[in-house]
Structure 1
Amino acid sequence: MNAAPRSASRNATIAIAVVASGALVGIGLLRAFDPNAAGSWFPSCLFHDLTGLYCPGCGITRALHALVHFDLRRALAMNAFFVLCLPLLAAMTLQGVTARAWLPKAVRRVVFDGRWWIGALLVFGLLRNLPGLEWLAPGGIS
């Protein structure tokens, strides 16, 4: 009789388990291997390799590596935008896989609007390549 709610709950549980498993594997890899090391098998940024400019995502792998080693300062130096958005991204993920409202309605209206993210990423990507704002580039803050 109540197959639909039970199925939705089961799907949410499976989604949470998959995300948690992926996160644990990622944490294990980032704890075991250093993306800063010469010959690292973590990929470099193709955009930076081709243009010499930093994209909004440059430094995310190194930021995550620093975070799993509890080095918040180094993580912020690698990609401050990403690190500062992590709690929001986690809340958005939970919002998507559970029925609970993790974020207030006004916040959800903004953060689930892709135009905000595109604008923020474009501005961050531009700023981190401007003279005088080198501290926004990966490793710019030490």
Structure 2
Amino acid sequence: MDAKPTAGAETEAVRAPGGPPPGPHPPHPAPAPPRPLARRLLAPLGALAGVAAAFAYVGTVDPNEPGHYPVCPLLRFTGIYCPGCGGLRSAHAFVHGDLGAAFGANALAVIGYGVFAVLMAVWLVRALRGIPMRLAVSPVLWWGIGGVLAVFTLVRNLPFGSALAP
């Protein structure tokens, strides 16, 4: 007596006890509970605190006075201004609210401060909303940033670009 099981019996045999019926897709896992607000804000506020401490130090210890900071090795050995030359003087002027002097010392650094401020604001808003921050930078953008740095370095070291030199 070979009796075939009914369709309902087959389903019950494959189904886990108390589980959903089998289907073409596995069931979705339950979403993870949201992290507490303090934990979500820890990384962006920690990064912001580190940058604020660095700016506070540079704002307090004047880079225009010799002996406080090391000299740029590229400038010392070749006489060529690198893209970062004048960055400390720029940060010092920026902290003291002198935007003209900040741009005069290193215009690219001041633009970087603005980009950093925008990224920090986005990161903080996303952390408040519980959305993780993912910053995927394409190789094209990296090459573009490198190209801007190279052109900036070249122009600030030529006579017609002396306004960009610190």
Q: Same fold (TM over 0.5)?
A: yes
> Structure 2 unaligned runs (5+)?
1-29, 128-135
| Closer, same or farther: CA 116–93 of 1 in aligned 2, 3 Å | farther
Q: Which residue of 1 aligns with 2:107?
A: 80
Letter in 2 for 1:133: G
Measure, in 1, the Cα distance between the counterparts of 2:76 and 2:125: 39
Matched, 1:119 2:147: yes
Tell me the equivalent position of 1:58.
85
* 8 Å contact kept, 2:59–2:91: no
Q: Work out the number of aligned pairs and report it.
A: 128
Normalised to the residue count of structure 2, the TM-score between the two structures is 0.65
Structure exhibiting the larger radius of gyration computed from Cα positions: 2
Gaps of 5+ in 1: 101-107
Work out which of the residue numbers 46, 52, 57 in structure 2 matches 1:24: 52
Instruction: Find the aligned partners of 1:57 and 1:78 in 2 and give their Cα distance.
Output: 10
Moved over 3 A (4+): 1-5, 9-12, 93-98
Q: Bigger CA drift: 20-29 or 57-66?
A: 20-29
Relative distance call for 1:25 and 1:124 in structure 2 (3 A) is same
Q: Percent identity between the aligned chains?
A: 34
User: Structure 1-normalised TM-score?
Assistant: 0.75
Q: How many Å separate the matches in 1 of 2:137 and 2:54?
A: 30
Measure the CA separation in 1 of the matches of 2:154 and 2:95.
28
